[in-house]
């Protein structure tokens, strides 16, 4: 079972949850519980958005795991714009009801990180991969396979959080970042990798195997 450093609620959500509860209590005290109902509904939304459950870690050293919860929106051979190579690209789209913790898809060493400012298009669109705000992490496995995991901001996402740097070691399923309020994660793999998912599949971070490395 993967360890979860922030049980139940991700630390990124604590300030939002505190403000939501405080606002709901203040309105309830000043105007009554009926008037505070919309704020309590918002608090429930914040609570579910920032949930951060522990997850089992699937597969073996060749398995590429889903870095996020969501739906597969791309499985294609394309160019990896970060390592300038042909790659198998698999993209996971997260809506506002998915868990937004991001986890490492493979066991590997962080060889590089790149942040790019950009737009906030609908993350389900293909062009979001290259035009939206994004943060890429390049991982190299013990067998020498290069994997690029890219956090991409969405239509209402305004904050990408990444907690790793070059030289760090990550285990597959290990939490390494978070994106607030709707987004996607693109994974670029060696072109000989074998995809285990298809467009439209629902996936879960750390649990669903996206592909097998060659």
Q: Among all residues, which ones are annotated catalytic?
A: 183
Is the separation of the CB atoms in 187 and 148 below 8 Å?
yes
Burial label for 125, CB within 10 Å (0-12, 13-18, 19+), is middle
Report DSSP state, residue 59.
Answer: S
Of 140, 156, 143, nearest in space to 188 by CA: 140
Nearest to 116 by CA among 16, 205, 206, 186: 186
CA proximity to 45, closest of 177, 158, 184, 181 = 181
Residues 6+ apart with CB under 8 A from 194: 211, 212, 214
Q: Give the distance, in angstroms, between the CA of residue 142 and the centroid of all CA atoms in the same chain.
A: 23
Strands 183-189 and 85-94: antiparallel
Consecutive H or E run containing 162: strand 159-162
């Amino acid at each position: 079972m993967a360890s979860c450093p922030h049980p139940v609620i991700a630390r990124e959500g604590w300030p939002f949850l505190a403000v939501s509860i405080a606002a709901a209590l203040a309105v309830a005290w000043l105007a009554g519980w009926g008037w505070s109902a919309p704020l309590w509904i918002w608090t429930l939304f914040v609570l579910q958005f920032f949930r951060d459950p522990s997850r089992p870690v699937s597969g073996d050293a060749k398995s590429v795991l889903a870095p996020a919860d969501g739906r597969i929106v791309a499985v294609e051979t394309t160019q990896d714009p970060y390592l300038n190579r042909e790659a198998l690209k698999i993209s996971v789209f997260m809506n506002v009801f998915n868990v937004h913790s991001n986890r490492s898809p493979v066991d590997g060493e962080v060889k590089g990180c790149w942040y790019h400012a950009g737009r906030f298009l609908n993350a389900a669109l293909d062009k979001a991969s290259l035009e939206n705000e994004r943060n890429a992490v390049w991982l190299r496995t013990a067998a020498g396979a290069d994997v690029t995991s890219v956090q991409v901001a969405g239509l209402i996402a305004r904050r990408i959080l990444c907690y790793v740097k070059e030289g760090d070691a990550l285990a597959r399923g290990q939490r390494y970042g978070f994106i607030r309020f709707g987004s996607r994660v693109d994974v670029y793999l060696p072109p000989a990798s074998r995809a285990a998912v298809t467009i439209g599949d629902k996936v879960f971070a750390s649990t669903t195997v996206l592909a097998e490395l060659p």
